[in-house]
A and B are shown apart, each in its own frame.
Chain A
């Protein structure tokens, strides 16, 4: 087998970054990203993109930390280069709360605030301060697409109803379809956690602020500030709710009163593709005599951007293993 033909289903941050990693890591392959939704219509475009990881119940902590660190290092290099603005990556400092999380030493300058400091900034009465990165979908996704095309990757607009549609045009399928996997992979474990946010103009806000639970947050970005949020399990509704918007604005103004002066308020909704853990594994689909190697790479929940590069590197390794197996003549390939 000469060129291994790989299809990546899904063009959010996970689909595009996986395609980019495969391009780099898998020898003699062609990569095609196939999706019915592209930026700026994906879930990744709605997310604030803060590098603050979630916790995956079913994934060992050391693995989560590795994925987060790899993503952080990858974006940190971009943030310090001339590409930062094009790629939509910036450094932000702020004040959230929580006990010391597993990722405290991955972000920069993590420390607890002293009693004195807490007294001084009474409305920001939280425990810790650190500096992390923000990676913005509307810029980052086009940047990834450009890189992918530059290395010979293709992009196809098409709604895939069944992974078998990709056989035999493609040799390996990487499934990065997020919530689409309910249908494409028949996975009942993946469900939406609806998030509504407001994108507003408030350029004087230079710090991010989060409350204890992370439900209420203020994330300043390149050209707007994201105010949030909600966590509505099992809610598939993509239309913004006016009452919820009022609630978000009110909660955020309580944390940061100057937001009363925010203007040009836009409502957005994203459905976080949530699962007890990221599904990152190979599966060999079989139908009669047909075989289709699939690498599943979905279910990042609220951690899509925070974990994308680390998980994409691992997905690319799994694809490489599949490609290797296809190239090795054997009586029965053991995938």
Chain B
């Protein structure tokens, strides 16, 4: 059984790992390869701050809520390990801020200690009058991809730097199953009118006294168009840009200023060091999706009568 995963961001690598973990011992032979044009540290995943937090409103596909929760629980189970930090994983607490009262999010019982902010806490943020406090998880994209790459390499999964022009070309090369994890560029392999880039720009700064995430919300502007501050393992990510349809991968001065002014207003203790980037979404949901793909893969194997025994539920 030859599997080719196209894409080496969080989705591609976690899917490859999920499949290999579940089916390696139940198949006579399982050969998994990852083809991608970009590997860490050049993927979208590498730019993301990596905070586990879904959008506020319920997803149109209720499966996504389930996958989000599966991802959280999967990461939680790794917290007690000495290697959690190697994975880029750490618990983090913080604030979601609003200009007016809003209903609780559907994921309030997934995170830990969800509660409303007290008046004294809101005093710290004079532009906002309502908010939540909860403990969630950080999964730093770059570290996680390095960790996934190590796990896959240990398992004999090969990585190839390749620009894939079509599924046919991969099939002709000898793939039995192709898993398309090409993210924002999926349209190049198969047109998808529903897929658009949601361009994000961020600033990474050295501000190690910031131990909490702070995410503001402005329902009129939309998600991630309002300032946010997310501490990572080594640096703090400042953001607040989400532009549908914008494919530009270069830094924009206006966006930089928007982020910087918004975040300094939110957190006066900020001081800049360096660096720019661009942003995305995906770490929150990746493992749930990978499990889903593994299930689909399992069905394919069953159809082709390739399974010696039922797959283990890892």
Contact = CB atoms under 8 A, between A and B. Distances in A.
Interface of A: 79-82, 84-85, 89-93, 108-109, 111, 113, 116-117, 120-123, 129, 131, 202-207, 220, 222-223, 253, 257-258, 260-261
Given A117-B112, A120-B76, A261 B91 contact: no
A204 B143 CA distance: 12
Given A207-B91, A258-B90, A261-B83, A85 B209 contact: yes
A221 B169 CA distance: 53
A109 B85 contact: no
B209 A93 contact: no
A90 B207 CA distance: 11
Chain A interface mostly: mixed
- B90, B112, B209 interface centre (most CB from chain A within 10 Å): B209
Given A82-B269, A204-B85, A258-B85, A222 B80 contact: no
B268 interface: yes
A218 B147 CA distance: 26
B112 A120 contact: yes
Contacts of B207: 85
27 contacts: A80-B124, A81-B269, A82-B269, A84-B269, A85-B207, A89-B209, A90-B211, A91-B212, A93-B93, A93-B135, A93-B211, A93-B212, A108-B118, A111-B113, A120-B76, A121-B79, A122-B80, A202-B85, A204-B138, A205-B90, A206-B90, A206-B91, A207-B91, A222-B208, A253-B82, A257-B81, A258-B82
Interface residues of B, number: 38
Contacts of B109: 116
B121 interface: yes
Contact of B271 (A85, A129, A253): A85
Contacts of B299: none
B211 A220 contact: yes
B90 A204 contact: yes
B179 interface: no
Given A109-B117, A206-B211, 9 more contacts: A85-B271, A93-B211, A93-B212, A109-B115, A205-B90, A206-B90, A206-B92, A222-B208, A223-B208
Contacts of B121: 108-109, 131
Contacts of B304: none
